[in-house]
Amino acid sequence: MHYRHNAAMPPGAIGSWQLQRGGPIAGYFQPVQLRSPSGAKVALAAQGRFTEPQPGVTAGFLIGQVYRLRVTSIPNFPGEEVYPTLEVIDRTYPPPGYEARFPIVVELNPYDLELALQGRFVTRVIYVEDSDRAFPVRENPHMQEWFDVRPGEDPLQVADALGRPVAILRIGGRTPSDVTQPDLRFLYGCPPFVPLPHAPAAPEPVPVQVPAQPVPEAPQGQPQFAPPQATPPADAQQSMLRGPGVMPVSSNYERPPIQNSALLPVQYRRVPSVMR
């Protein structure tokens, strides 16, 4: 199969092709929730300059447009800033009236921000999972699942095989010469967006520590309580009598499976990558 699009295309190219296909996407403001790492802040570009940085931003973005972001207060990198781009290439279809309740979540991973500060260029493709191929497991609501593609693979094609790509986040590259008055070409024309109420992710539950209760002492004159000792099966007792180094085996014993480390999946930490 020959793919017309790839993740290496310039920002805006894939979104413009999507608009040419038609459908209910032209002029639609797709709700997107931008999550920043703890302590970091993100800002959008409006009227030729960046807005006030916030811990997180939720807004409606036009499909096919490219939005320039500004990430500041990055943990462990004081004074450093990153200027990613966000391109929404498709929309979701929630029930009418619930569009803002189910936004596309785009998480700014601290690992990716660190790579960008080191001079690397990171491409992340956010996609909606195919319900027939999704893993039937509950995900952590406090963390967006992601994985790196293997060397030589295109993240857009991988995302297309697993579901439906909806957004592309590119981190790294250019920085403005004057952040107070950035060039409109750097801001990709500063396309409009619709601000929406931002609902940050719920904090992780704090484990409750129950203080240890004192063990009541037995009254004087009564023997101390001793827990019953387990008696091994008869065949196990015979095995133990054979001497040290012999493992007792009984009829109820089940040998645990042996895991071959060579068969375990290998995780690749390489960019570009795919994130759902």
Q: Using alpha carbons, list the distances in angstroms from residue 213 to 154, 210, 216, 220.
A: 58, 9, 9, 21
Q: Which two tokens stand for residue 175?
A: 């920085």
Domain ranges within the chain, ordered by starting residue: 13-197
261 against 29, higher pLDDT: 29
What's the pLDDT tens digit per position in 163-183?
A: 999 999 999 988 898 888 899
pLDDT at 231 over 60: no
Q: Would you say the pTM of this structure is higher than 0.85? A: no
What percentage of the chain carries pLDDT values higher than 70? 70
pLDDT at 270 over 50: no
Over the chain, what is the mean pLDDT? 77
- Indicate the pLDDT class of residue 94, thresholds 50, 70 and 90: very high
- The predicted structure's pLDDT at residue 55: 93
Using the Cα atoms of residue 123, residue 128, residue 132 and residue 134 in order, give the sign of their dihedral: positive
275 against 265, higher pLDDT: 275
The edge-to-edge listing of strands for the beta sheet with 56-62 is 104-107, 29-35, 56-62, 193-196
pLDDT at 9 over 70: yes
Span of 34-48, 118-132, 197-211, 214-228 with lowest mean pLDDT: 214-228
pLDDT at 217 over 70: no
pLDDT at 125 over 90: yes
State how beta strands 49-50 and 146-148 pair.
unpaired
Query: What is the rounded average pLDDT of the residues 104-126?
Result: 93
Q: Encode burial over 32-57: b for 16+ CB neighbours within 10 A, e otherwise.
A: bbbbbbeebbbbbbeeeebbebebbb
Place of tokens 């520590």: 209
pLDDT at 77 over 50: yes
- The predicted structure's pLDDT at residue 220: 64
- Indicate the pLDDT class of residue 249, thresholds 50, 70 and 90: very low
